[in-house]
Structure 1
């Protein structure tokens, strides 16, 4: 009985990520997201979350996307620090800064000549979702609404993917002045693909390391 108990304890023990673990996760997760967003932009699609809000502000003002994305996230760090802790907030700040930088330099490193809008919606959505999962599992996010969604999941048990999908739907509808009906429909498909990945793979208790 002692041996079984020891094995169970070892199997359920929470393992803290190392500094290297977190760094590679931040780089990999934000890279996945940035490539997915590059596919969206090439196909003229929208997305949700603070990224979608930054897209809306970019289309409306013409200001650089990266700077807008970084600025929109600033008010949410107080909630992150107060509700999610210092480690989460600092890692989220690092991820947001990295994505803001990648969004500006990636077009010079990675250029798409042609991509089917349908593939951009589904493939890009799944890439963004995978990037979010990597960040979430290392107690980080891309700030803003992701922080709010994660807090709602931890506080009330609301599934992150479903809550994010509802918020994204509102943001996508607000993009109507800048994209046509077909691109809006494909943007909804992209949001569904992204949040399907989150809903299936990011469940409370499924992954316990931090």
Structure 2
């Protein structure tokens, strides 16, 4: 059993490191193929690193590279993640940031298109996909992802929404540095980045589930064996067609747990009626698995 656990843990670590490397490729492509050639600012700490790099080149004789600034700006956030999230999470976040800094240096800046709108949209899509994939696999890309996770745990806000709300300064800075049309292009890229991130990272998206079943105990056991979710039971419901006795179960899950719910229902009561509603606002405690 100990050998099996070690093998599984090694497999998980390998998957996380591979995901960190994949993210570093995504952010480097977004930066060097779209954002930099299109004069588009990214979101969060990456955008702030771009701003400092631009200003250092304009007002000082030496321009500090974006990869170096990205790493330096993340150092205090590593401390925050170490204290507020988890040590393992921080280690893999550090690996992701190092990979990103190195890949941004290795991948050359390439002008694919002169259209800033295309640069804004595709930069946001590529980076949002990489960031969401990293978060989905339990690692962070550094920067505002760490702040977003800390605040999200306390407020229940989605990562993408928190990320967007922190970027007004970046948008205004783009307007002053590159001109106000580029501020709108940067805003478009940040918006697309946040939305794609939420599409990929589904752990923060809540869904209300209503189950009508005549096997309530079996359904409850299977759901709670797979997911740590509370369930509200409504007894003595009646089906209007055959007037047979039913039980209604209510619970709230994350979109990330949808597959677990489907498996639980298939194993416990495949004939049950299940209704799922998106976009649920939660007041009160909702269990979030440790990262």
Alignment-derived partner of residue 43 in structure 2: 48
Matched, 1:32 2:33: no
> Which has more helix, going by share of residues?
1
- SS, match of residue 189 in structure 1: helix
Matched, 1:192 2:191: yes
The structure 1 segments of at least 4 consecutive aligned residues displaced by more than 4 Å after TM superposition are none
Please give the root-mean-square deviation of Cα atoms over the aligned residues, in Å: 2.0
**Structure 2: distance between partners of 1:54 and 1:164:** 16
Deviation at 1:117, TM superposition (A): 1.7
Alignment-derived partner of residue 74 in structure 2: 73
Q: What is the TM-score normalised by the length of structure 1?
A: 0.85
Contact 1:52–1:172 under 8 Å retained in 2: no
Alignment-derived partner of residue 142 in structure 2: 143
- Structure 1 residues 206 and 30, CA, compared in 2 at 3 Å: closer, same or farther? farther
> What pairs up with 1:14-163 in 2 under 5 angstroms?
18-38=12-32, 39-61=34-56, 62-107=63-108, 111-163=110-162
The size of the alignment, in residue pairs, is 194
Cα displacement string for residues 70-92 of structure 1 (whole angstroms, at most 9, x for unaligned residues): 00111111110011101110010
- Structure 1 residues 123 and 146, CA, compared in 2 at 3 Å: closer, same or farther? same
Q: What is the TM-score normalised by the length of structure 2?
A: 0.62
Deviation at 1:58, TM superposition (A): 0.4
Contact 2:174–2:180 under 8 Å retained in 1: no
Alignment-derived partner of residue 165 in structure 2: 166
Which stretches in structure 2 are left out of the alignment for 5+ residues? 1-7, 57-62, 205-253, 258-288
**Structure 1: distance between partners of 2:105 and 2:91:** 22
Cα displacement string for residues 89-132 of structure 1 (whole angstroms, at most 9, x for unaligned residues): 0010011111111111111xx63343532211111101110010
- Structure 1 residues 159 and 113, CA, compared in 2 at 3 Å: closer, same or farther? closer
Contact 1:47–1:172 under 8 Å retained in 2: no
Q: Name which one, 1 or 2, has greater alpha-carbon Rg.
A: 2
